[in-house]
Amino acid sequence: NAGVTQTPKFRVLKTGQSMTLLCAQDMNHEYMYWYRQDPGMGLRLIHYSVGEGTTAKGEVPDGYNVSRLKKQNFLLGLESAAPSQTSVYFCASSYARVRTDTQYFGPGTRLTVL
Protein backbone atom coordinates (compact mmCIF):
# COMPACT_ATOMS: atom_id res chain seq x y z
CA ASN A 1 0.00 0.00 0.00
CA ALA A 2 1.21 3.49 -0.85
CA GLY A 3 -0.81 4.98 2.03
CA VAL A 4 -1.51 8.68 1.53
CA THR A 5 0.16 10.39 -1.40
CA GLN A 6 0.17 14.04 -2.37
CA THR A 7 0.99 15.78 -5.63
CA PRO A 8 2.81 17.98 -6.29
CA LYS A 9 5.51 18.02 -3.61
CA PHE A 10 6.57 21.58 -4.33
CA ARG A 11 4.96 24.46 -6.17
CA VAL A 12 5.60 28.16 -6.66
CA LEU A 13 2.71 30.38 -7.72
CA LYS A 14 2.28 34.03 -8.48
CA THR A 15 -0.42 36.00 -6.70
CA GLY A 16 -3.75 35.46 -8.40
CA GLN A 17 -2.88 32.15 -10.02
CA SER A 18 -4.91 29.05 -9.35
CA MET A 19 -3.92 25.48 -8.66
CA THR A 20 -5.20 22.17 -7.36
CA LEU A 21 -3.49 19.89 -4.88
CA LEU A 22 -4.29 16.21 -5.14
CA CYS A 23 -4.47 13.78 -2.27
CA ALA A 24 -4.93 10.06 -2.84
CA GLN A 25 -5.27 7.19 -0.38
CA ASP A 26 -5.45 3.48 -1.04
CA MET A 27 -6.64 2.37 2.39
CA ASN A 28 -10.36 2.63 1.64
CA HIS A 29 -10.70 5.34 4.28
CA GLU A 30 -13.97 7.22 4.59
CA TYR A 31 -12.58 10.39 6.13
CA MET A 32 -10.09 12.72 4.50
CA TYR A 33 -8.64 16.04 5.66
CA TRP A 34 -6.61 18.97 4.41
CA TYR A 35 -4.37 20.85 6.85
CA ARG A 36 -1.93 23.68 6.52
CA GLN A 37 1.17 23.96 8.69
CA ASP A 38 2.75 27.29 9.45
CA PRO A 39 5.68 28.05 11.77
CA GLY A 40 4.62 28.46 15.36
CA MET A 41 0.99 27.60 14.62
CA GLY A 42 0.96 23.84 14.30
CA LEU A 43 -1.50 22.27 11.90
CA ARG A 44 -4.83 23.89 11.15
CA LEU A 45 -7.71 22.11 9.49
CA ILE A 46 -8.84 23.67 6.22
CA HIS A 47 -11.57 21.33 4.98
CA TYR A 48 -12.51 17.74 5.53
CA SER A 49 -14.73 15.07 4.06
CA VAL A 50 -16.66 12.32 5.80
CA GLY A 51 -17.30 10.36 2.63
CA GLU A 52 -17.49 10.43 -1.13
CA GLY A 53 -19.41 13.45 -2.35
CA THR A 54 -19.29 15.28 0.99
CA THR A 55 -17.15 18.16 2.20
CA ALA A 56 -17.16 20.42 5.23
CA LYS A 57 -15.31 23.48 6.48
CA GLY A 58 -12.61 23.28 9.08
CA GLU A 59 -10.90 25.98 11.08
CA VAL A 60 -9.44 28.04 8.19
CA PRO A 61 -11.50 27.40 5.02
CA ASP A 62 -11.42 30.86 3.43
CA GLY A 63 -9.68 31.02 0.06
CA TYR A 64 -9.87 27.26 -0.50
CA ASN A 65 -12.31 24.87 -2.10
CA VAL A 66 -12.37 21.09 -2.02
CA SER A 67 -13.99 18.22 -3.83
CA ARG A 68 -14.36 14.50 -3.09
CA LEU A 69 -15.73 13.00 -6.28
CA LYS A 70 -14.07 9.65 -5.62
CA LYS A 71 -13.59 8.01 -2.27
CA GLN A 72 -9.85 7.68 -2.71
CA ASN A 73 -9.21 11.27 -3.82
CA PHE A 74 -9.54 14.61 -2.05
CA LEU A 75 -8.70 17.74 -4.01
CA LEU A 76 -7.79 21.12 -2.55
CA GLY A 77 -8.15 24.13 -4.84
CA LEU A 78 -6.87 27.66 -4.63
CA GLU A 79 -8.80 29.84 -7.04
CA SER A 80 -6.76 33.01 -6.61
CA ALA A 81 -3.58 32.39 -4.63
CA ALA A 82 -2.40 34.96 -2.09
CA PRO A 83 0.97 35.24 -0.30
CA SER A 84 -0.83 34.38 2.96
CA GLN A 85 -1.43 30.93 1.52
CA THR A 86 2.28 30.18 1.46
CA SER A 87 2.46 27.13 3.67
CA VAL A 88 3.02 23.41 3.82
CA TYR A 89 -0.17 21.50 3.09
CA PHE A 90 -0.84 18.07 4.51
CA CYS A 91 -3.53 15.65 3.58
CA ALA A 92 -4.68 12.96 5.99
CA SER A 93 -7.18 10.14 6.00
CA SER A 94 -8.81 7.89 8.56
CA TYR A 95 -11.09 4.89 8.45
CA ALA A 96 -13.69 6.48 10.66
CA ARG A 97 -13.83 9.52 12.83
CA VAL A 98 -14.36 7.99 16.19
CA ARG A 99 -12.26 8.88 19.18
CA THR A 100 -10.06 5.82 18.87
CA ASP A 101 -9.24 6.27 15.22
CA THR A 102 -5.95 7.63 13.95
CA GLN A 103 -5.19 9.80 10.99
CA TYR A 104 -2.59 8.85 8.41
CA PHE A 105 -0.73 11.73 6.84
CA GLY A 106 0.75 12.33 3.43
CA PRO A 107 4.28 13.72 2.96
CA GLY A 108 3.10 17.29 2.38
CA THR A 109 3.11 19.88 -0.40
CA ARG A 110 5.26 22.95 0.04
CA LEU A 111 3.55 25.91 -1.63
CA THR A 112 5.06 29.35 -2.09
CA VAL A 113 2.97 32.24 -3.37
CA LEU A 114 4.98 35.21 -4.60
Residues at the interface with other proteins (CB under 8 A): 4, 31, 33, 35, 40-45, 48, 50, 56, 58-59, 90, 92, 97-100, 102-108
- Of 47 and 81, which CB lies nearer to other proteins in the complex structure? 47
- Smallest gap from residue 9 Cβ to other proteins (A): 9
Shortest distance (Å) from residue 17 CB to other proteins: 24
Q: Which residues pair with 21 in a beta bridge?
A: 76
Residues contacting residue 98 through CB under 8 Å, at least 6 positions apart: none
Task: Decide whether 42 or 69 has the Cβ nearer to other proteins.
Answer: 42
What is the nearest approach in angstroms of other proteins to the Cβ of residue 110? 8
Closest separation between CB of residue 80 and other proteins, Å?
26
In angstroms, the Cα distances linking 46 to 1, 2, 8, 75 are: 26, 24, 18, 12
